[in-house]
Amino acid sequence: MAIEHIVIVGGGTAGWMAAAALSRIRDGSDLKITLVESEQIGTVGVGEATIPPFVDFQKTLDIDEAEMMAATQATFKLGIQFANWGQVGESYIHPFGAYGYELGGIHFHQVWHALQERGDKRPLQVFNLETMAAYFGKFSRTQDYARDDLPPMNYAYHIDATAYARFLRAYAEKRGVVRRESLVKDVGLHPESGYVTGITLDNGEIIEGDFFVDCSGFRGLLIEQALNTGYDEWTHYLPCDRAVALPCNRDDGTPAPPFTRATAHSAGWQWQVPLQTRNGNGHVYCSAYMEADEAHDILVTNLAGKPTADPNFLRFVTGCRKKFWNKNVVALGLASGFMEPLESTSIHLINTGVNKLIATLSLDGVNEAQASTYNRVTRKEYERIRDFLVLHYKATRRDDSEFWNYCRTMDVPDTLTEKIEIFKANGQIFREEDELFTATSWAAVMMGQGIAMHGTSPMAAGVIDGVAKEVDEMERSIKWLVQQMPGHQQYVERYCPTT
Ligand code: FAD
């Protein structure tokens, strides 16, 4: 059946990202797009840290960066600082961008390791622009440099997610997306095919559609409640199942740092996301080891300013739907699954979900091959991200609480065990199935939490004599560039002051 009407259920970050991106395929067709959202239900109200592909999402939509950043109180993000993960008192930065650069197919951290074996004392961090800029609170975009022989700056944003959804709503409505404000009361299914035929609003009106995008949040109104798709739980590997979020002001005069903070506590971890005039904060924790009151107290004790709202208590189950595309429904955002926001991957998965949907969709109708391919690729994407998140817990040396004892000793997926063992042997990292996280990401977390390379890569050892000058130059140019950069706060105030 031809697709003439796409109905999006939900107007959170997922719903409006889908609406904005899909509005671009309306051009030159009669395709109708309707988004239904309910203010009575509201949105999850969190989700402020992003990763670099999100910058490309704005570019695909021809969104002016400075305008979007001003509208969302945004700041720049160069990576995440993890504190107390390997051991209490330790910290490291997982940066965007690479350590050094690939030298003949060898990862730079392997070359660095070979240099260390020869007595070089320089830390790996001095070969990463984003880490050095983050340490010094500096920022510049690549296009600001006067020279083109310098490493690019890889960044993402911290955004006010509610303001971002509002921003995209204006974008999508301008391009013909029709918004309906109503509670969805019922979902109609075709008696034979089981395809969704329409949704019933609380005034009794039925909105019929040919294709549906379920962005209804954790409840999964279409994908789960109507289609009973099923959910694969990953709570064994990612046992945190609660969060309490609490924004605070930043009136202590400190500049907004260009990175997210993720600080581990006794049964979970706390995020701090600096926006232009406030910080987003939250404490993700495991209810088997901590009560809500204690989680809230820990968060309040560790806030950098005064709370500006009531605490928002949230529950979740880590895992994903057995199918992301079922019949004529694709689930995006929280409706499709959830992994905790340790590496800011949820909005990214909305982004890649929308991209895959647009790439796959034909207005002539849906077929099984589209759904099964979408499901297979998305499942792999989820699993590779899951492994990376699990690494943060597994690679702890903490033994100061029951929670960390569980994480340190838990079984993990074989795919992760193999990755760790190969890294220990000589620092090699194989990226599989187009996975999101790079060799630098894996190396940053493994080394940051105390997993060492025991052996030297013979290939790396073989090149170090020839690359000594290049390596010195790399360090010098990063140092020089960071010195030239303005402070991050100063940059934001000039480039995209909040409106
Ligand atoms: P929601 O925001 O819940 O929106 C659901 C929509 O569906 C709403 O508009 C609601 O009104 C509508 N709806 C539901 N039922 C009905 C109905 N019956 N009738 C009509 N409308 C209905 N992601 C990141 O990338 N970075 C982060 O830093 C990050 N931090 C997070 C922290 C926490 C604690 C949590 C839980 C999530 C975090 N996320 C983060 C994930 C991120 O918040 C979500 O991916 C993102 O907000 C998308 O949510 P959503 O649009 O799927 O759902």
Our measurement of the distance from residue 304's CA atom to the centroid of its chain's CA atoms, rounded to an integer in Å, reads 23
Listed residue (361, 281, 37) closest to 173, CA to CA: 37
Helix, strand or coil, per DSSP, at residue 374: helix
Tell me the per-residue pLDDT of 411-446, one tens digit each, with 9 for 90 and over. 999 999 999 999 999 999 998 888 999 999 999 999
The type of residue at 362 is: S
State yes or no: pLDDT of 125 exceeds 80. yes
Token couple for 352: 């890649």
The CB of 47 under 6 Å from ligand 1? The reply is yes
CA of 406 relative to ligand 1 center, distance in Å = 29
CA of 228 relative to ligand 1 center, distance in Å = 20
Q: How many CB atoms are closer than 10 A to CB 479?
A: 12
ipTM: 0.99
CA of 337 relative to ligand 1 center, distance in Å = 11
Query: Which member of 77, 327, 394, 419 is catalytic?
Result: 77
Our answer to whether residue 77 is catalytic in this structure is yes
The CB of 37 under 6 Å from ligand 1? The reply is yes
Listed residue (11, 26, 24) closest to 355, CA to CA: 24
Judge contact between 199 and 206, C-beta under 8 A: yes
pLDDT band at 246 (very low <50, low <70, confident <90, very high): very high
- Cα(223)–Cα(88) distance, integer angstroms: 42
pLDDT of residue 207: 98
Our measurement of the distance from residue 74's CA atom to the centroid of its chain's CA atoms, rounded to an integer in Å, reads 16
pLDDT of residue 250: 84
The CB of 168 under 6 Å from ligand 1? The reply is no
Domains assigned to the chain: 5-48+160-232+319-366 (3.50.50.60), 75-154+242-315+398-499 (3.50.50.60)
The CB of 36 under 6 Å from ligand 1? The reply is yes
pLDDT of residue 258: 98
The CB of 156 under 6 Å from ligand 1? The reply is no
Residue 60, CA distances (Å) to 162, 185, 361 in order: 21, 35, 17
Q: Encode burial over 9-44: b for 16+ CB neighbours within 10 A, e otherwise.
A: bbbbbbbbbbbbbbbeebeeeebbbbbbbbeeeebb
Alpha helices by DSSP H, 106-227: 108-117, 129-136, 161-174
Helix axes 161-174, 13-23, angle to 10 degrees: 30
**Do β-strands 79-83 and 248-249 pair in parallel, antiparallel, or remain unpaired?**
unpaired
Tell me the per-residue pLDDT of 2-25, one tens digit each, with 9 for 90 and over. 999 999 999 999 999 999 999 999
- Cα(298)–Cα(287) distance, integer angstroms: 14
